[in-house]
């Protein structure tokens, strides 16, 4: 074994969580290492949030041509798509974002170690033939797309989000297996770019929605763009050289397939069994979500790999929590997590904030709704979708929202902020609503919910001076 290294903190994984953790650690000690296996630049910038949004934006721009003629803008039939140029544009933007993250990673010089980290014991790691002893270790090694080996064996036509952005040009047809956030975003974007898309949602759930009415509205919106199969497990097979997707009675020959049936935490590639601690069926140690500490050990677990909330701002917060606690010897600080917020950048946006419908106790809440069929949404040609917001039946405190709505990404932020501030529907209705804006739909839903709350304050939607 080559030279041993002894440090205060070792961080496994130079993704978002790992880099944010390091930015906390260096406030206290310079004696750390950041260990990265595989390409640098973070999942978000390389193969995640950023290239997917670049593809979605190009697709939305091209798709918009469909509504221009009725507005008197002619000549759209002359618009053509160069699939290879689309993918080059996505990769150029991807490279821009990735290069920025690589620069943020390589600035740590010798403290950045490239290689695969594995535990050799408590406080001990092996990386590329080196032994690293660390007073504290942060596991921040991300997740990977789930891909069944028999599907991987079908070759390059079977894509995941790791390989999708490398394709030379757009396929003529695409099967999307799994209609979670990634499947919905990429499936619809490909359809908007003229690819024939069939999407398969085994459970019938779409992009993490749990409210059946909102799920139905989301499915109807998606069906304008692609064929949606629900309720059957999908399979892929090569038949005489052709790629065939099937699910229950449905069957299609496709040029390519995107497997978007979930991501697997990389927790299984670390040799955690060396630590002699209890692991659950996924190989996950028990950790406190408020401190991210693995029970009783100088070990923290942050980002996608802990399986808590595999989204960027949560990985960012996890890095902050783990980095802060890793360099403090007192009892680890317990951090209050932000209100939940999940956005699928589809058209309309699919959003949940606060408590999901499925986690609410029946009889304890009232619902307000808006279907965005009029007003500004109509002017924008985005007059479809459904928003359901949930408030406490006794007090009107905002609990959560599920929606498939135009500008849902912005409505979701407003509601997540109000939920985190413990605001009620009555507090929220005292806020300004401009006219005409999509937020007026939100006001309709708030009013509906307010009317159903048991203990209603008597106020005409504006506060009296003496009560403020
Ligand atoms: C297609 C797609 C679109 C997405 N879109 C969004 C979005 O719009 N908004 C949003 O909030 N989130 C989105 N996400 C999720 C978001 O990208 C992730 O939640 C986030 O990037 C996770 O960061 P992380 O630090 O946990 O992991 P990562 O950034 O994956 O970093 C972990 C690093 O650890 C390395 N590693 C693994 N094992 C080892 C080991 N044993 N030793 C050393 N290094 C190791 C990995 O190679 C990796 O580089 C998207 C994800 C995908 C795939």
Rounded-to-integer distance, Cα 465 and Cα 75, Å: 57
List the residue whose alpha carbon is closest to atom 19 of ligand 1.
311
Range 21-39 average pLDDT: 98
Distance 142 CA to ligand 1 centre (A): 5
Put simply, whether the predicted model's pTM sits higher than 0.95 gets the answer yes
User: Could you give the percent of the chain with pLDDT greater than 70?
Assistant: 99
Atom index in ligand 1 nearest the CA of residue 302 equals 26
Residues 295, 287 contacting (CB under 8 angstroms): yes
- Pick the residue whose CA is nearest to atom 22 on ligand 1: 304
- List beta partners, residue 139: 12, 301
Q: Is 271 in the pocket of ligand 1 (CB under 6 A)?
A: no
| Residue 323, Cβ density class (10 Å: 0-12 exposed, 13-18 middle, ≥19 buried) | buried
Beta bridge partners of 343: 351
Q: Quote the pLDDT of residue 1.
A: 47
Query: What residues contact residue 183 under an 8 Å CB cut-off, 6+ apart?
Result: 176, 177, 199, 201, 258, 260, 261
pLDDT grade for 467, boundaries at 50, 70 and 90? low
The closest-lying atom of ligand 1 relative to the alpha carbon of residue 118 is 41
pLDDT digits (tens, 9 = 90+) for 44-95: 999 999 999 999 999 999 999 999 999 999 999 999 999 999 999 999 999 9
Can you tell me the distance from the alpha carbon of 305 to that of 25, in angstroms, rounded to the nearest whole number? 20
Q: Within 13 Å of residue 204, how many CA atoms lie on the same side as its CB?
A: 9
pLDDT tens track for 288-332: 999 999 989 999 999 999 999 999 999 999 999 999 999 997 899
CA of 143 to the centre of ligand 1 (A): 6
Read off the pLDDT band of 2 (50, 70, 90): low
Ligand 1 geometric centre to CA of 88 (Å) = 22
Are the C-beta atoms of residues 140 and 299 closer than 8 Å to each other? no
Could you give the angle at the alpha carbon of 9 between the alpha carbons of 6 and 10, nearest 5°? 85
* pLDDT for the residue 361: 98
Give the whole-angstrom CA distance, residue 133 versus residue 10.
8
Which residues have a Cβ under 8 Å from the Cβ of 214 and sit 6 or more positions away? 357, 386, 387, 388, 402, 403, 404
Separation of alpha carbons 356 and 348, rounded Å: 19
Averaged pLDDT, 341-369: 98
| Dist CA 226 CA 192 (whole Å) | 9
Q: What's the CA gap between 86 and 370, in Å, rounded?
A: 36
**SS3 assignment, position 400:** strand
CA of 407 to the centre of ligand 1 (A): 26
| pLDDT tens track for 143-155 | 999 999 999 999 9
Ligand 1, pocket-test mutation among 35, 106, 315, most atoms within 8 A of CB: 315
The per-residue pLDDT for range 194-245, each reduced to its tens digit, is 999 999 999 999 999 999 999 999 999 999 999 999 999 999 999 998 999 9
Average pLDDT, rounded, for the chain: 96
Q: Rounded to the nearest whole angstrom, what is the distance from the C-alpha of residue 13 to the centroid of ligand 1?
A: 9
pLDDT at 468: 58
pLDDT confidence of 134, banded at 50, 70, 90? very high
E strand or H helix that includes residue 56: helix 49-63
- Predicted pLDDT at 330: 82
Question: How buried is 21 (Cβ within 10 angstroms: 0-12 exposed, 13-18 middle, 19+ buried)?
Answer: buried
């Amino acid at each position: 074994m080559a030279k041993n290294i002894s440090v205060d903190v070792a961080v496994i994984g130079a993704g978002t969580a790992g880099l944010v953790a390091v930015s906390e650690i260096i406030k206290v000690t310079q004696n750390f290492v950041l260990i990265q296996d595989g390409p640098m630049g973070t999942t978000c910038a390389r193969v995640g949030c950023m290239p997917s949004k670049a593809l979605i934006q190009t697709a939305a721009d091209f798709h918009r041509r469909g509504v221009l003629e009725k507005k008197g803008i002619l000549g759209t039939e002359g618009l053509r798509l160069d699939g290879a140029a689309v993918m080059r544009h996505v990769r150029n933007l991807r490279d821009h974002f990735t290069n920025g993250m690589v620069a943020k990673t390589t600035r740590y010089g010798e403290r950045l170690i490239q290689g695969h980290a594995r535990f050799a014991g408590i406080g001990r790691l092996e990386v590329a033939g080196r032994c690293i002893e660390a007073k504290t270790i942060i596991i921040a090694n991300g997740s990977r797309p789930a891909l069944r080996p028999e599907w991987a064996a079908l070759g390059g036509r079977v894509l995941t989000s790791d390989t999708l952005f490398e394709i030379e040009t757009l396929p003529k047809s695409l099967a999307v297996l799994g209609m979670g956030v990634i499947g919905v975003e990429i499936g619809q974007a490909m359809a908007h770019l003229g690819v024939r898309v069939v999407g398969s949602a085994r459970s019938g759930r779409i992009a993490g929605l749990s409210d059946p009415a909102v799920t139905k509205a989301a499915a109807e919106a998606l069906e304008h763009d692609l064929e949606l199969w629900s309720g059957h497990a999908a399979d892929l097979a090569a038949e005489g050289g052709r790629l065939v997707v099937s699910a229950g009675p449905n069957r299609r020959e496709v040029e390519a397939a995107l497997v978007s049936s979930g991501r697997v935490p990389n927790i299984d590639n670390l040799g955690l069994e060396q630590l002699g601690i209890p692991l659950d069926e996924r190989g996950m140690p028990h950790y406190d979500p408020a401190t991210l500490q693995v029970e009783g050990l100088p070990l923290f677990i942050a980002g996608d790999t802990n399986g808590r909330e595999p989204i960027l701002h949560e990985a960012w917060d996890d890095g902050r929590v783990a980095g802060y606690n890793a360099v403090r010897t007192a009892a680890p600080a317990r951090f209050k997590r932000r209100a939940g917020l999940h956005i699928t950048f589809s058209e309309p946006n699919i959003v949940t904030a606060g408590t999901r419908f499925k986690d609410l106790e029946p009889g304890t809440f009232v619902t307000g709704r808006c279907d965005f069929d009029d007003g500004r949404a109509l002017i924008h040609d985005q007059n479809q979708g459904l928003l359901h917001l949930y408030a406490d039946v006794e007090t009107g405190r905002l609990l959560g929202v599920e929606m498939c709505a135009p500008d849902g990404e912005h409505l979701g932020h407003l509601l997540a902020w109000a939920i985190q501030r413990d605001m009620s529907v009555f507090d929220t209705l005292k806020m300004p609503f401009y006219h005409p804006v999509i937020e007026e739909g939100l006001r309709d839903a708030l009013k509906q919910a307010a009317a159903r709350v048991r203990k209603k304050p008597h106020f005409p939607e504006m506060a009296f001076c003496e009560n403020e």
